[in-house]
Structure 1
């Protein structure tokens, strides 16, 4: 595969970089903050991207997109992540909530949700993980008990990013149990977070605000209008979500920028020629190549767990490798408060964020298991 996407990609990257240079403050460190200035910056970026048809560039025009290719969307994602994701929590709606609603939603659901996502107005959170069911989603037990008017939700979700500020929750709940199929009997609900019976409790952590939260459902009500897809067949929706999520976060783009600054910054250039730096550069190129291969497979309609999870494994390992390398190279300065306009000024933030890379969105062990199962399935065919 040729990693050079061509002149159109260079032009799009330049356009995005000029836009972000105009909109982002010199001390921009990302969107995981309670600082109201961060919210203001994110809003400006979202508005500009939406106005220029870049926010949902690959969506069909009827849903607020520009009908562009997956590759154009990939360039947008890479530039956003290379600049510490100034779209904020919107990456969930843009990367997988919107596409999933397009694929499984009713006309009413599409009309209600897709325009708001395309304008960057709705914040979503993901109600998957539970205290006893993290990466093993087939073990989830949040109960949705049916009655004549819908379902009553009782249970808990955990590790729910952005739950304190989310407008909507993409919720997986147990609607029935099958003796021979754990993945059967799960239903996806699109639930407003202000519904009675829903409460959120933040979890303090080294990662800072908005990352980790508990969400409790105490007799919260949902109806047939809240169901995405088919009752009891939510596993098919979950598989669709995970396929998008695994390659929807191009961590390698941010890591490449860290490596670029490490190689040229006066305080680190001398040490950047070491074997660790060269190895990380190779791994960054490998992660980009594997992710681009996954995009090509999705474009061709043949994306498999082997390809998607393989790309994710490379990306999350790279994230931690580069974060460790940056702090080692910077020394004590790496944990000092940010001072400067480069990404190295926020090396400690990058390091803390990278610690969750091999856990979030399915642990690395689960990703390896998916690759192994996919390889065995392909070999048996």
Structure 2
């Protein structure tokens, strides 16, 4: 990406080193101070016009290239995402509202995201509609000049702290289940919405159940066209999946391993060091696939199969590299104070990786999407 990208990386790393504690493992731990660290860091990035670097200036962004935003994305994920949940608003909620939102929706929602002031959650998955999202049952029935939404969502990240929800519901039934779906932008403080946290080993705030009991929505809350929400969902998933640059964290931890072990690195088995090299190669593969999707997105030519190929590579990298890193960590002295950050980050990385092949669309569904795309090319 050149000298400009190198300078931006250096600036971002200095900001992280100066404003994020050394043992920070993300915003959503049991320590409330970690969430405050992320919120303060978001505001700092926004003040420096680095949070939404590639957004158009008219929407509060920096007007930079998508490649500069990619640098921001990589550095944030490499350092345990000190933006917290803001990546969701930055990477896909904001860009989707730019593409499909009304002028009023753009004025209402984009500036707070660009200032790092608002958190969004995604109301997609349901108990019986995860990978097969189009089978969802949460419905909106007509009531006067609006709708009443009732149903349940599950695995909703950040719902306990989010101010807004990007909500997908069924507004009509047709021959194809992908038809009749509509997206609503709804405030989470509405009393018709109830959030129940789901405890998990990744810590609080990550996963929740969300219940809707006759939530009133209006035409002003509709994003895009009524009954045509599925076309927007396909865009969302491509933006979302490439926006999670987990390969950057994998590469940072793998690259740090020889330094952490120091003289003991030479004592590792040839098999373990061979697996380590293989994971570094897979990091590069995932990075290049991400860059391909970024390039296609910027030209408006991205297809579901393109994002699926990247998602398969990066989720497998997550899990395979976690196993290698755990084996390397077993050789690290737990009495070495200089190695504590590495041990903590490797354990956290392993925890997160366990669900990586089911979150944001299971790996089985990604393989189906990629297979369909390849078959379409060969016909």
TM over 0.5: yes
1:34-89 deviation digits (Å, cap 9, x = unpaired): 42211221122112211111100000000000111110000000000010000001
The answer as to whether partners of 2:332 and 2:339 remain within 8 angstroms in 1 is no
Kindly indicate whether the alpha-carbon contact (under 8 Å) linking 2:261 and 2:332 is maintained by their aligned counterparts in 1.
Answer: no
Partner in structure 2 of residue 135 of structure 1: 131
The answer (yes or no) to whether the contact 1:327–1:335 under 8 Å persists in 2 is no
State the alpha-carbon separation in 2 of the partners of residues 83 and 214 from structure 1. 28
Cα offsets for 1:256-284 (capped at 9, x unmatched):
01101112212662328622111111111
Q: Structure 2: how far apart are the matches of 1:85 and 1:189?
A: 27
RMSD: 1.9
Residue aligning to 1:283? 282
How big is the shift at 1:344?
3.7
1:340 to partner: Cα distance = 5.2
Counterpart Cα distance in 2 of 1:365 and 1:335: 38
Tell me the SS of whatever aligns to 2:151.
strand
Q: CA deviation at 1:333?
A: 6.3
Match of 2:362 in 1: 363
Structure 1 residue 318 corresponds to structure 2 residue 317: yes
Aligned pair 1:46/2:42, yes or no? yes
Query: C-alpha distance in 2, partners of 1:143/1:322?
Result: 41
Deviation string 1:145-201 (CA, Å, 9 cap, x unpaired) is: 1121311111100000001111111000010000x2110000000010111210010
CA–CA separation in structure 2 for the residues paired with 1:272 and 1:227: 58
In structure 1, how many angstroms separate the alpha carbons of the residues matched to 2:152 and 2:342?
37
In 2, Cα distance between equivalents of 1:62 and 1:346 = 38
Deviation per CA, 1:91-137, whole angstroms, max 9, x where unpaired? Answer: 11011000011111011100000000001111110000000000111
Q: Quote the Cα distance in structure 2 between the aligned partners of 1:206 and 1:83.
A: 20
How do 1:333-348 residues align onto structure 2 when only pairs under 5 Å count?
Answer: 342-348=341-347
Deviations 1:4-26 (A, max 9, x none): x1111111100111111110112
Aligned-residue offset at 1:379 = 2.7
Offset of residue 332 of structure 1? 8.1
> What is the number of equivalent residue pairs in this alignment?
375
User: What is the aligned partner in structure 1 of residue 191 from structure 2?
Assistant: 196
Partner in structure 1 of residue 181 of structure 2: 186
Distance between the aligned counterparts of 2:236 and 2:14, measured in 1?
Answer: 32
> Does the 8 A contact of 2:30 with 2:203 survive in 1?
no
For the Cα contact (< 8 Å) 1:156–1:215, is it kept in 2? yes
Residue in 2 aligned with 1:233?
Answer: 228
The answer to whether the Cα contact below 8 Å between 2:168 and 2:181 also exists between their aligned partners in 1 is yes
- 1:265 is paired with a residue whose SS is helix
2:291 aligned with 1:292: yes
What is the SS of the residue equivalent to 2:265?
Answer: coil
Match of 1:223 among 206, 211, 218: 218
Question: Structure 2: which 5+ runs fail to align?
Answer: none
Does the aligned pair in 1 maintain the 2:334–2:340 contact within 8 Å? no
- Matched residues in 2 for 1:246 and 1:272: separation? 35
